[in-house]
């Protein structure tokens, strides 16, 4: 009786460990489902939207300007942030509002990226804490679930992957 229960417990623990490890490998190296909260990426990603993130681009260093990425927050490593990549290393970023007379710019240092939310009035991003190291990026969002899931699949992909509109007052110049 006891041996049967013990055997069953060991088997349960074994299966739990096995599936936990497979889940870890899947989330770490392939991708997963993430829920975003907060208004900083409206209207592209609404509060409490479910998005699909893939981690392959990060491992192969294929993150490009205009991608929406999930990264660890630089001031709190246990929480994640969801922003759009505006500049890669070497890019020149204008960091002031159009009302200022003197335009101030800065260059993104090597190994760093410049992130901004789509909802510029309501977003804490690189304009506040500066460029973040590339090593903090966890994954890239490629698909968003929502009420328009079934009908507008292709439009959503286009919206998520479009490059940031250069007509906004943040312009950027590539260096090389």
Selecting among 57, 83, 123, 126, the annotated active-site residue is: 83
Q: How many CB atoms lie within 10 A of CB 128?
A: 8
Rounded Cα distance between 131 and 103, Å, is 18
| 106 catalytic per annotation | no
Selecting among 8, 37, 40, 150, the annotated active-site residue is: 40
Q: Where are the beta strands (DSSP E) in 5-161?
A: 31-36, 49-54, 68-72, 80-87, 92-94, 105-107, 112-116, 132-133, 137-144
CB of 26 to another protein, least distance (A): 9
Rounded Cα distance between 118 and 139, Å, is 18
CA angle centred on 71, ends 68 and 75, rounded to 5°: 135
CB of 2 to another protein, least distance (A): 27
CB of 25 to another protein, least distance (A): 5
Q: Which is nearer to another protein, 28 or 100 (CB)?
A: 28
| 40 catalytic per annotation | yes
Place of tokens 């009035």: 121
- Please report, as ranges, the residues that interact with another protein according to CB under 8 A: 17-18, 20-22, 24-25, 28, 61, 72-78, 109-112, 132-136
Instruction: Give the residue numbers marked as catalytic.
Output: 40, 83
């Amino acid at each position: 009786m006891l041996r049967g229960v013990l055997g069953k417990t060991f088997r349960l623990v074994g299966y739990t460990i096995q599936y936990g490890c497979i889940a870890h490998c899947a989330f770490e190296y392939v991708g997963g489902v993430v829920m975003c909260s907060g208004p900083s990426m409206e209207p592209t990603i609404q509060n409490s939207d479910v998005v699909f993130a893939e981690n392959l681009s990060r491992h192969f260093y294929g993150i490009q300007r205009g991608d929406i990425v999930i990264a660890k927050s630089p001031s709190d490593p246990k929480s994640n942030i969801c922003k759009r990549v505006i500049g890669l290393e070497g890019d020149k970023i204008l960091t002031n509002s159009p009302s200022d007379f003197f335009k101030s710019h800065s260059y993104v240092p090597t190994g760093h990226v410049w992130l901004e939310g789509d909802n510029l009035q309501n977003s804490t991003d690189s304009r506040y804490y500066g460029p973040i190291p590339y090593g903090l990026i966890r994954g890239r969002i490629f698909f968003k679930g929502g009420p328009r899931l079934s009908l507008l699949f292709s439009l959503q992909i286009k919206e998520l992957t479009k490059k940031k509109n250069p007509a906004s007052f943040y312009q950027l110049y590539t260096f090389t």
